[in-house]
């Protein structure tokens, strides 16, 4: 059976994530044991038991979602369910690269560990925030950001689906954007609980460290198309995938365009591999005819292919 795999990003985590997988599958035990060693902390304990405050820390959240998602992708392959194309939302792009055999599990996790640490530190040095705006067009949100450029750093960070866009930047400017969005008729405009202004120039502080880690990691050409956050287009070449991961730090995530492009290329039968079902919701707002099955638990995994 062939499906397109899509992988969630930060905010899909929850206390108890992957615990059922660990109990049932040797592969999950093996990967969590490797993860604890690579992370040099008990990631398994935090995923399974919390506390939630620890799990919500960027440098824990990203590795937790990565490990959960990659385990699911590998277990799907064991069930003879293989991806024909992949994409991942922000952090999820690293999982997509493992599924496409660009990175192996260990190298991918080492990169995610470094990325999450560097992003957290960049957020501490250059404080910022993000806000979700629902009910305005991308053009409207672009216009709001452009009108505030003179006030400080702000830009769209995630074009998630029609009418759902996240902006990122310095807090005082993001709060002004929330006001302007409400005045423009947004159904909702609210600040998100994040540790930094992800996918904005405030993350450039992390660029040198991530570049060094990426350059020291072996990348292979992808076996299948990888639709990337920065371009929304299919990429297979190792060096291009490496350079796009670096650009991704401070560039918007073009998720709506990724979904539109994959569907146009006849990749319209998706599995959301990892915790939660955020991407399924975004897809339904982008194209109601596309199919997406969330797969993050033993029950969901076992129901696939039946």
Instruction: Answer yes or no: 90 catalytic.
Output: yes
Distance, in Å, from the CA atom of 273 to the CA atom of 95, rounded to the nearest integer, reads 9
**Residue 232, preceding peptide bond in cis (omega within 30° of 0):** no
Distance, in Å, from the CA atom of 46 to the CA atom of 258, rounded to the nearest integer, reads 32
Q: Rg of the chain's alpha carbons, rounded to an integer? A: 18
Q: Which residue stretches of the chain are H helix?
A: 19-24, 26-39, 43-49, 52-55, 58-78, 92-99, 105-125, 138-147, 171-183, 207-215, 238-248, 255-264, 278-286, 298-303
Distance, in Å, from the CA atom of 189 to the CA atom of 192, rounded to the nearest integer, reads 10
**Residue among 16, 196, 218 at smallest CA distance from 117:** 196
How far is it between the farthest Cα atoms of the chain?
Answer: 56
Distance, in Å, from the CA atom of 205 to the CA atom of 116, rounded to the nearest integer, reads 13
Distance, in Å, from the CA atom of 103 to the CA atom of 188, rounded to the nearest integer, reads 38
Pairing of strands 234-235, 226-227: antiparallel
Question: 12, 199, 232, 250: which one is catalytic?
Answer: 199
The helix-helix angle for 58-78 and 26-39 (nearest 10°) equals 150
Q: Two tokens at 172?
A: 């005082």
Instruction: Answer yes or no: 232 catalytic.
Output: no
Question: 4, 12, 69, 90: which one is catalytic?
Answer: 90
Q: Residues with catalytic annotation?
A: 90, 199
């Amino acid at each position: 059976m062939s499906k397109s795999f899509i992988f969630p990003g930060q905010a899909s985590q929850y206390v108890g994530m992957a615990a059922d997988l660990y109990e049932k599958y040797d592969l999950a035990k093996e990967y969590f044991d490797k993860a604890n060693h690579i992370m040099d902390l008990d990631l398994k304990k935090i995923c399974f038991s919390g506390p939630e405050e620890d799990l919500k820390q960027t440098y824990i959240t990203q590795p937790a979602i990565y490990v959960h998602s990659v385990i699911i992708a590998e277990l799907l392959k064991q069930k003879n369910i293989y991806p024909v194309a992949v994409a991942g939302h922000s952090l999820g792009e690293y999982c997509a690269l493992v599924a496409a055999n660009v990175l192996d599990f260990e190298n991918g996790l080492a990169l995610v560990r470094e990325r999450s640490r560097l992003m957290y530190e960049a957020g501490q040095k250059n404080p910022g925030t993000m806000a979700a705006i629902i009910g305005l067009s991308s053009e409207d949100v672009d216009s709001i950001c452009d009108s505030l450029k003179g006030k400080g750093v702000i830009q769209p960070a995630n074009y998630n689906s029609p009418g759902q866009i996240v902006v990122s930047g310095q807090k005082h400017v993001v709060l002004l954007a929330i006001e302007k969005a409400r005045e423009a008729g947004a159904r909702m405009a609210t600040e998100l609980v994040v540790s930094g202004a992800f996918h904005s120039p405030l993350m450039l502080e992390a660029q040198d460290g991530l570049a060094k880690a990426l350059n020291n990691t072996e990348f292979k050409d992808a076996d299948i198309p990888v639709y990337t956050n920065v371009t929304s287009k299919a990429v297979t070449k190792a060096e291009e995938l490496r350079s796009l991961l670096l650009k991704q730090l401070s560039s918007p995530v073009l998720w709506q365009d990724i979904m539109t492009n994959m569907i146009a290329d006849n990749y319209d039968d998706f599995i959301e591999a990892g915790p939660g079902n955020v991407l399924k919701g975004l897809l339904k707002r982008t194209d109601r005819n596309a199919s997406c099955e969330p797969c993050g638990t033993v029950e969901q995994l076992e129901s696939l292919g039946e």
